[in-house]
Amino acid sequence: NQCLNSSSCLPSILAFMAAQSSLAQLPQIPPITDPKFIEDCVKIHNELRAIVNPTAGNMKYMTWDASLAKTARAWSKKCVFKHNVHIGKRHACHPLFKTVGENLWMGILTKYVVRNATTDWFNEVKYFEMSDNTCSRVCGHYTQVVWASTYKVGCALKMCPNLGKHVVMFVCNYSPDCKPFIILNGLMAPSPTRPPHHTLRCNHSLVIPKRLVFLCCLLFLISYQITITALTSERYH
Ligand SMILES: *[C@@H]1O[C@H](CO)[C@@H](O)[C@H](O)[C@H]1NC(C)=O
Ligand SMILES: *[C@@H]1O[C@H](CO)[C@@H](O)[C@H](O)[C@H]1NC(C)=O
């Protein structure tokens, strides 16, 4: 399983055994407008975002986006375990956002499906090496869940009998999307310009505002100029 880029990472596959015991109380598939479903999706994402290590300096709080949920629903209806072919095309998946990210999950329907799927994505953190920003397997779902500037999410659940008994697809779309990875020598590597934790690591106490530096230089030059002008006019007049 190789990731070609952040939005076309191969989805993670769940072990089907885990859910057998809870099949007796198989829940209903909620529509994307269901308040409990929306709350579940948003809550687990924010819970996982809150536990990134090291702590985030400027991570945004994630909220629901109905348009993203519609995109997720439209794609989930196809019941194919592949990424939305329109992801990556600008302005193709959302009326306002240029680009959209996507995480896919397939597994057995349980009442914990939203929580378990999102946690599976987050658990890719174990393949992610903080010290040199590299990924040993697949990390694109993790980075999309915790990407600091992503603040909109919309998800959909769909029963997919063609994929197996009680099998569901869980699709989440995100905006703005994360783009942490580039391909180096055929291997996945985080982009040097935007490493996944760049924003998470930000140490505000080290940041000197550029405007302040510019203003100081400007003031110095002006007072220097005034002094020179004063001295020369004294000498010649
Ligand atoms: C799914 O989530 C529930 C509730 O958080 C948890 O008890 C259970 O262990 C999870 N199952 C898997 C397979 O992760
Ligand atoms: C942030 O920078 C300050 C000042 O250089 C330093 O004392 C502190 O340990 C840094 N914090 C982190 C989390 O790196």
Lowest mean pLDDT among 11-25, 136-150, 164-178, 209-223: 11-25
Count of domains in the chain? 2
**Cβ pair 114, 37 in contact under 8 A:** yes
Judgement on whether residues 135 and 86 belong to the same structural domain of the protein: yes
Judgement on whether residues 106 and 63 belong to the same structural domain of the protein: yes
- Residue pLDDT, tens place only, 42-56: 999 999 998 888 777
- Residue pLDDT, tens place only, 121-148: 999 989 887 766 677 888 888 888 988 8
pLDDT band at 160 (very low <50, low <70, confident <90, very high): very high
Question: Token digits for 182?
Answer: 């580039």
The DSSP letter of residue 91 is T
Q: Counting ligands in written order, which one lies closest to the CA of residue 57?
A: 2
What pLDDT, on a 0 to 100 scale, did the predictor assign at position 129? 77
Q: Is residue 107 one of the residues assigned to a domain?
A: yes
Q: Counting ligands in written order, which one lies closest to the CA of residue 48?
A: 1
- The upper half-sphere exposure of residue 103, i.e. CA atoms within 13 Å in the direction of its Cβ, equals 31
pLDDT band at 184 (very low <50, low <70, confident <90, very high): very low
Lowest mean pLDDT among 1-15, 65-79, 92-106, 203-217: 1-15
Coil, strand or helix at 152:
strand
Q: Is residue 180 one of the residues assigned to a domain?
A: yes
What pLDDT, on a 0 to 100 scale, did the predictor assign at position 191? 44
What pLDDT, on a 0 to 100 scale, did the predictor assign at position 91? 74
Radius of gyration of the chain, Cα coordinates, nearest whole angstrom = 24
- Residue pLDDT, tens place only, 2-49: 333 333 333 333 334 444 444 445 678 999 999 999 999 999 999 999
> How far is residue 90's CA from residue 179's CA, in Å, rounded to a whole number?
14
Average pLDDT over residues 205-221: 71
> How far is residue 33's CA from residue 153's CA, in Å, rounded to a whole number?
13
Judgement on whether residues 82 and 129 belong to the same structural domain of the protein: yes
Ligand 1 center–CA 19 separation, angstroms:
9
* Percent residues over pLDDT 90 in the chain: 38
Judgement on whether residues 126 and 185 belong to the same structural domain of the protein: yes
Ligand 1 contacts (CB < 6 A) are: 18, 112, 115-116
- The closest of 40, 39, 46, 41 to 61, measured between CA atoms, is 46
Q: Is residue 159 one of the residues assigned to a domain?
A: yes
The yes-or-no verdict on residue 181 having pLDDT over 60 is no
Instruction: Please give the residue range of the domain that contains residue 73.
Output: 35-193
The yes-or-no verdict on residue 149 having pLDDT over 90 is no
Judgement on whether residues 58 and 97 belong to the same structural domain of the protein: yes
What pLDDT, on a 0 to 100 scale, did the predictor assign at position 93? 75
Judgement on whether residues 177 and 203 belong to the same structural domain of the protein: no
Q: Is residue 147 one of the residues assigned to a domain?
A: yes
What pLDDT, on a 0 to 100 scale, did the predictor assign at position 97? 85
**Cβ pair 164, 26 in contact under 8 A:** no
Judgement on whether residues 63 and 179 belong to the same structural domain of the protein: yes
Coil, strand or helix at 106:
strand
Judgement on whether residues 118 and 223 belong to the same structural domain of the protein: no
More confident residue, 83 or 69: 69
Predicted TM-score of the model (pTM): 0.66
Q: Is residue 204 one of the residues assigned to a domain?
A: yes
Of all protein residues, the one whose alpha carbon is nearest to atom 13 of ligand 1 is 18
Of all protein residues, the one whose alpha carbon is nearest to atom 3 of ligand 1 is 112
The yes-or-no verdict on residue 203 having pLDDT over 50 is no
